[in-house]
Amino acid sequence: MNPMPINPVNRVLRRTGRTARAVGALAVFAVTAAGVSAAGVTAAQAAAAFPNTVVPVPVSEVASGATYTLTSATTVSSDVTGIGDYLAGILRTSTGYPITETTGTGSGSIALELTGAPTTVGAEGYVLTSTATGVVIQANQAAGLFHGVQTLLQLMPPAVMSPSVAAGPWTVPGGTITDYPRFEHRGAMLDVARHFFTVAQVERYIDEIALYKIDYLHLHLTDDQGWRIAINSWPNLATVGGSTEVGGGAGGYYTQADYSAIVAYAQTRYVTIVPEIDSPGHTNAALASYASLNCNGVAPALYTGTNVGFSSLCVPLALTYTFFDQVVGEIAALTPGPYIHIGGDEASSTTASDYATFEGKAQNIVASHGKTVVGWHNISTTALLPSTVLQFWDTTTSNSSVAAAAASGSKVIMSPANHAYLDMKYNRKIKLGQTWAGLIDVDTAYGWDPGNYLTGVGESSVAGVEAPLWTETILTSADIDYMAFPRLPAIAELGWSPWSTHNQTTFTQRLGAQGPRWKDMGVNYYQSTQVTWPPGS
């Protein structure tokens, strides 16, 4: 299938001239401490009127009853030009209105402002205020404005996401939303090693995950079946190691310019790329590319099957560390984000002592390039740098070495495979996916508390959540969509929303509200029977 961008207009950075139209200050209508607004609506009535459509559910929503309706005169102003362009582009495409962009803080009928937000909403939070005359989103930083824009779009009729002009009215329910994340780290992972996905396909996924306030995309760039990024000092990695994939297809790799394009695109969606070089196991593609990296000096054949645990870098060999240092150095130089993921999973062909030796050296190499290590939780059996972040992927709820690391101050990203793995089947009838960690429908994806899941790893040790999508059985963007939606939004909500809001019933209602949006966007989602999908889904 040819991947289609979700909304081509999103990508057009369009600047328009300043227009004279300015909108006056919006009326204040906050519900008072006594629970009665200026308009005489009680908090209970107001809250009941607020639509249950936003995923992840915001920290606080107070309805005022005063709906704003976009018109052909609606304007957008933004203190961050790119975010104003992003919003105006989506609105123009579906409403058909000109949606002129005005300059000057607060000048638009929809105003995105880097002023006025309380410090309590932090770097990623926002306050959205909608009245009869317009909408104001206030944040402390650009990421907060971007997240507020996602909430605004989810408050509007689903057809706002349509790639062509659709019918209004284009309403925004009146009220105030105050919102900020529970965890800083809300990730998705795409395995581009088992099957290769093009830059356009990765950008499409970035567009999709950003709708749910996901802020990290972990790219699993290397594995037994493929090496997917060009390394100038080791060119065969890409040209040989990237030349096939699971099933024997042509594979592929990103040039460094391609990778930089993905990083830059992700930045426009407030998503940070976390590159993974899996090691010392999952390295057959590298070992097949250079005989000199092998202990016996013989390159193995390229591998196109789906077994794991059979390959290992040669830990006693000095060249292994030259290799790892140069690879990490080149990738670090292309990666503005703080993390490099060193893998460390399923190294069953590496002895325990070699494994500990390698993980010690690998962490120091990453640190020497100014980056923070993320590793699969298996590395917690070895000595960790204080800053190393663990990614828990097992199906158990206790792990003594992870708990010990947490007690020593390590942070943990939670990806329990039996809840968060997007490559697990929804049920046995599904063609795509695997079953080793269990079947995962919406209730299972949503039904766990990342801050109180792993014994000895409490809320303060949890960096956040990540939903990995391994791609042994995943070949197309339609396949990615099918496995990620509707489960990825469940993981996104666990990462963003306070645990006090956790409610399976209201969550599945809000999830159902996404169905018509996905339909309009061409997202090939799975219609779980646990969700009541409204008309138009």
Q: Is 321 exposed, middle or buried (0-12, 13-18, 19+ CB in 10 A)?
A: middle
Cβ neighbours of residue 507 closer than 8 Å, sequence gap 6 or more? 55, 57, 446, 490, 493
Specify the residue, 6 or 440, whose C-beta has the smaller distance to ligand TNX: 440
How many residues in the shown chain lie near ligand TNX by CB under 6 A? Answer: 11
Q: How far is CA 307 from the centre of its chain?
A: 27
Our finding on whether 126 is near ligand TNX (CB under 6 A) is: no
Our finding on whether 393 is near ligand TNX (CB under 6 A) is: yes
Specify the residue, 184 or 346, whose C-beta has the smaller distance to ligand TNX: 346
Among 423, 466, 493, 520, binds ligand TNX (CB under 6 A): 423
Our finding on whether 346 is near ligand TNX (CB under 6 A) is: yes
Specify the residue, 106 or 343, whose C-beta has the smaller distance to ligand TNX: 343
CA distance 210 to 205: 8
To the nearest whole angstrom, how small is the minimum distance from the Cβ of residue 361 to ligand TNX?
A: 20
To the nearest whole angstrom, how small is the minimum distance from the Cβ of residue 191 to ligand TNX?
A: 6
Q: Which 371-390 residues touch ligand TNX, going by CB under 6 A? A: 376
372-376 and 389-392 strand pairing: parallel
Our finding on whether 197 is near ligand TNX (CB under 6 A) is: no
The contact mask relative to ligand TNX for 205-244 (x = CB under 6 A, - = no) is ----------------------------------------
CA distance 521 to 164: 10
Our finding on whether 358 is near ligand TNX (CB under 6 A) is: no
Specify the residue, 279 or 514, whose C-beta has the smaller distance to ligand TNX: 279
Task: Say if residues 132 and 174 touch (Cβ distance below 8 Å).
Answer: yes
Our finding on whether 359 is near ligand TNX (CB under 6 A) is: no
User: Token pair 């042994």 is at which residue?
Assistant: 472
**Among positive and negative, which fits the CA dihedral 420, 426, 428, 433?**
negative
Specify the residue, 241 or 512, whose C-beta has the smaller distance to ligand TNX: 241
Choose the binding region for ligand TNX from 22-30, 250-258, 416-424, 509-517 (rule: CB under 6 A).
416-424
To the nearest whole angstrom, how small is the minimum distance from the Cβ of residue 421 to ligand TNX?
A: 6
Choose the binding region for ligand TNX from 365-373, 382-390, 417-425, 440-448 (rule: CB under 6 A).
417-425
436's tokens = 């080793």
Active site residue 466: no
Our finding on whether 258 is near ligand TNX (CB under 6 A) is: no
Our finding on whether 330 is near ligand TNX (CB under 6 A) is: no
Task: Say if residues 454 and 403 touch (Cβ distance below 8 Å).
Answer: yes
Our finding on whether 304 is near ligand TNX (CB under 6 A) is: no
Amino acid letter, residue 505: T
CA distance 299 to 337: 33
Task: Say if residues 374 and 391 touch (Cβ distance below 8 Å).
Answer: yes
Establish how many alpha carbons lie within 13 A of residue 366's alpha carbon, considering only the half-sphere containing its beta carbon.
29
Specify the residue, 109 or 444, whose C-beta has the smaller distance to ligand TNX: 444
Cβ neighbours of residue 74 closer than 8 Å, sequence gap 6 or more? 91, 95, 97, 99, 109, 110
Establish how many alpha carbons lie within 13 A of residue 242's alpha carbon, considering only the half-sphere containing its beta carbon.
21
To the nearest whole angstrom, how small is the minimum distance from the Cβ of residue 470 to ligand TNX?
A: 3
Specify the residue, 218 or 371, whose C-beta has the smaller distance to ligand TNX: 218
Which of 184, 208, 276, 346 is the catalytic position?
346
516's tokens = 């018509």
- Specify the 3-state DSSP secondary structure of 463: strand
Cβ neighbours of residue 260 closer than 8 Å, sequence gap 6 or more? 334
Our finding on whether 392 is near ligand TNX (CB under 6 A) is: no
Q: Which 453-492 residues touch ligand TNX, going by CB under 6 A? A: 470, 472
Amino acid letter, residue 300: P
Residues of the shown chain interacting with ligand TNX in the complex, contacts defined by CB under 6 A? 308, 345-346, 376, 393, 417, 421, 423, 434, 470, 472
Q: Which residues are catalytic?
A: 346
